Amino acid sequence: MIAPSSSPWCDTAKAEKRLRDYVLAGLQQQVKEKLDSESTALYATARLWDDGIIDPRETRKVLALALATSRDAARRKLRASSFGVARM
């Protein structure tokens, strides 16, 4: 009888596991690199996933406009929209 440790099937199973681990590590690295490259603000805004990036020098101006708009919205009567929204 052949001892389990000297069986050719044990060596093949270990080799397959090492290969799976190696392939999995490679795939994990590829996914990590892809996520890192696609997680930047420039990547998202280039695909119009947001409304753009505010120039840091204009932050106060944009914030003031947003606050003024929200304050003004509370004073206005809400009317139903009769048109769609166009996005370019």
The pLDDT tens digits for 20-75 are 999 999 999 999 999 999 988 889 889 888 888 999 999 999 999 999 999 998 88
HSE (side-chain half, CA atoms, 13 Å) at 41: 5
Backbone angles phi, psi at 47, to 5 degrees: -100, 10
Confidence of residue 4 (pLDDT cuts 50, 70, 90): low
Tally of domains within the chain:
1
More confident residue, 27 or 85: 27
Domain membership of residue 67 (yes or no) is no
pTM summary value = 0.46
Expressed as residue numbers, the domain containing 32 is 9-39
Domain membership of residue 76 (yes or no) is no
Domain membership of residue 14 (yes or no) is yes
Contacts of 43 (CB under 8 A, 6+ apart): 37
Specify the DSSP class assigned to residue 45: H
